């Protein structure tokens, strides 16, 4: 699962992206990876959350996506099943 979101507001000088993905880590754990940054400068931050099951990881990722949509981001790419 990968969801890419953007929020662009020229009046606020805001050009941001957010990527939420669910994937296996190196140790076969399920992780939710969140990356965000500026579309203009390419600056980036990343945070990884571990989940006990794939279903819990999907639930966590969905909550993050819904929160971002509520804050004015819109979905650019969505590979949710």
8-53 pLDDT, tens digit each = 999 999 999 999 999 988 777 899 999 999 999 887 999 999 999 9
Contacts of 38 (CB under 8 A, 6+ apart): 15, 16, 17
pLDDT for the residue 80: 81
Where are the chain's structural domains? 2-78
- State the pTM of this model: 0.89
Instruction: Provide the pLDDT confidence category of residue 81 given band limits of 50, 70 and 90.
Output: low
Interval 49-69 mean pLDDT: 96
d(CA 19, CA 40): 16
Residue of 8, 5, 9, 40 whose CA lies nearest to 19: 5
CB 10 within 8 A of CB 20: no
Superfamily of domain 2-78: WGR domain (2.20.140.10)
Beta bridge partners, 24, equal 30
């Amino acid at each position: 699962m990968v969801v890419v979101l953007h929020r662009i507001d020229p009046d606020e000088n805001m050009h941001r992206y957010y990527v939420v993905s669910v994937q296996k880590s190196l140790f076969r754990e399920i992780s939710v990876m969140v990356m965000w940054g500026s579309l203009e400068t390419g600056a980036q931050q990343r945070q990884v959350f571990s989940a006990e099951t794939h279903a819990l990881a999907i639930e966590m990722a969905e909550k993050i996506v819904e929160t971002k949509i509520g804050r004015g981001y819109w979905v650019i790419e969505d590979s949710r099943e």
